[in-house]
A and B are shown apart, each in its own frame.
Chain A
Amino acid sequence: MSLLSIKNMDVSIGQYSVLHGVTFDVPEGGVFVLLGRNGAGKTTTLRSIMGLWDRPAGSVTFRGEDISSLHTSDIARRGIAFVPENMGIFGGLTVAENMVLATASGKFDDTRLKRVYELFPALEQFWDKQAWSLSGGQKQMLAVARAIIEPRDLILIDEPTKGLAPSIISAMGEAFREISETTTILLVEQNFAFAKSLGRDMAVIDDGQVVHTGAMADFAADTALQDRLLSLSMEGA
């Protein structure tokens, strides 16, 4: 059984219909990559899973339970963490305060905190700094760290490499690889090289619909398919 299963999800924002019958399954374990051109509906899909847009139709099943009508906070409590496109850092709070808010009890589990420090040493260094003063890469690290400070079953991550330097991107990739050994990641990515190096399974979304699903290895080998589904010069699928 898959960890997360989305069936026929339609989403409208205002009067615009953005997603039309999005359907895909995320198996447990590893990194599942959601690809698609700009404006295809990737962010909308993640936000809808998180309950941040109204979903007029379709179902979102997580561990066998339909979560599509749950409140965002209850979805989070079911074990889904969200790292949004804009990172969602609380800039006026310190790194420590950002992290403590991500714990359910207000207390850190020492082993998990140690693991965060090991993955992202900068966070330990700037622990008492206000988060707005962090660099873009450090903010992204903080956003990911918040998602793993508690045990979770699934982490939704929206374009984590956007605007980051290559060295930071590769560090981020290492961190994701390690995290995905224990936690499933649903990753939205435009950086195909990055996505390819991490993904096990994948789906492509275009114009609010899933137009391809399969193994990342197969997709990576098929450059014609990549061109057709991802290149900006070609319309439709």
Chain B
Amino acid sequence: MNTLGNMIERAGGVFLLPVAIAIIAFVLIGAPSSWLTLTVAGLAMGMMLFLMASGLSLVFGLMDVLNFGHSAFVSFGAFVAASVLAYFGGWLGSDSIVLNVMALVFAIAAAIVFGAALGWFFERVIVKPVYSDHLRQILITMGALIVAEQLILATWGGTPTNVPRPHFLEGTIIVGGSSLEVYRLFAFIVGAVVYAGLYLLLNKTRIGLLIRAGVENREMVEALGFKIDRLFIGVFMLGSALAAMGGAMWAGYETLITPALGAEMMVIVFIVVIIGGLGSIQGTLLGAIMVALMQNYVGFLAPKLALASNMLLMMAILLWRPYGLAPAVK
């Protein structure tokens, strides 16, 4: 029993859980081609959820701020990207991959810049006055989310907005009998690259070292001579930019978005962060992948349970590990 536990620990511990879920799903689904399609869809969705959730996790870990308005960055990212893509509609339809890519890069960059700017405003004006007061944080950030939704409604209207996709990301490729959407592969790759970048930032740079230390003990970081405020605003802007980027990617994935997007994603993003454990991006990635895989597999096996599945997953994990699967050390 103990040696088995040690073996699992050495092989990756909780990070093997998505693999376990995938194997169980493989048995239940039976058809390898459907399983592969669902798995790729789950991994792609997981990466987008990771983008949306990583900022929330870091901000909570470092600043102890519960930002219920976080999904406003997701929504704004989605709508800003949709507008930029629509503006470059001519380039998107073109057969030139260069024009395709440029339109896409502009759209994602616009979402990121907008997210970072909005994050700056949010931190300075809304969150800063309520540091270390969770109740007020919840109230004021929820209020901010409502305001953000209304702004989106006023700007983009209530009817679903169409999100044009670049030509080169349309269509599917066939691998071993299962059809894989190109956009999903693209989303997976983008998410993986961002994760790698974040990982390097956190683990190989001095700023990253300060962030990891600050997640554990803010006071001590200050007592060693560093201004935690500057880290806070930096991390907050980074987190909002990533959420907006996640929103932009999500918009392209859904191709039809409504102002309710933010509120819809909020629940799932919170589940991801709680499952993964607050303050660590490894945990967030793990939570995101698990939630997305579950959603896709259960959606296929028992569509009626799809929504409930993630709640059940969260409850099961919290019973087992109250701080989530891989929280930052506190």
Contacts and interface: CB of A to CB of B under 8 A. Distances in A.
B223 A76 contact: yes
Nearest to B215: A92
B99 interface: no
B325 to A, nearest CB: 15
Given A90-B212, A90-B213, A52 B219 contact: yes
Contact of A90 (B216, B225, B227, B228): B216
B220 interface: yes
Interface in B17-46: none
A182 B16 CA distance: 52
B32 to A, nearest CB: 40
Interface in A35-90: 50, 52, 71-73, 76-77, 81-82, 84, 88, 90
Contacts of B222: 52, 71-73, 76
Nearest to B220: A88
Given A97-B209, A101-B209, A106-B206, A90 B217 contact: yes
A194 interface: no
A71 B227 contact: yes
A73 B227 contact: yes
A102 B209 contact: no
How many B residues are at the interface, by size bracket? 20 to 34
How many A residues are at the interface, by size bracket? 20 to 34
A102 B220 CA distance: 10
B226 A88 contact: no
Given A92-B329, A132-B329, A76 B209 contact: no
Given A92-B328, A92-B329, A101-B209, A50 B223 contact: yes
Interface in A181-225: none
A146 B329 CA distance: 19
B270 to A, nearest CB: 23
Contacts, number: 62
Contact of B225 (A76, A88, A91, A132): A76
Interface string B180-221: 000000000000000000000000001001101101110111
A16 B327 CA distance: 34
B227 A101 contact: no
B224 to A, nearest CB: 5
A88 B223 contact: yes
A100 interface: yes
Given A73-B225, A77-B225, A146-B224, A101 B213 contact: yes
A104 interface: yes
B213 A93 contact: yes
Nearest to B230: A73
A101 B210 contact: yes
Q: Which 8 A-B pairs have the closest CB atoms?
A: A92-B329, A88-B220, A76-B225, A72-B222, A82-B223, A91-B329, A90-B213, A77-B225
Interface of A: 50, 52, 71-73, 76-77, 81-82, 84, 88, 90-93, 97, 100-102, 104, 106, 132, 146
Given A52-B219, A77-B225, 4 more contacts: A82-B223, A90-B216, A90-B220, A132-B329
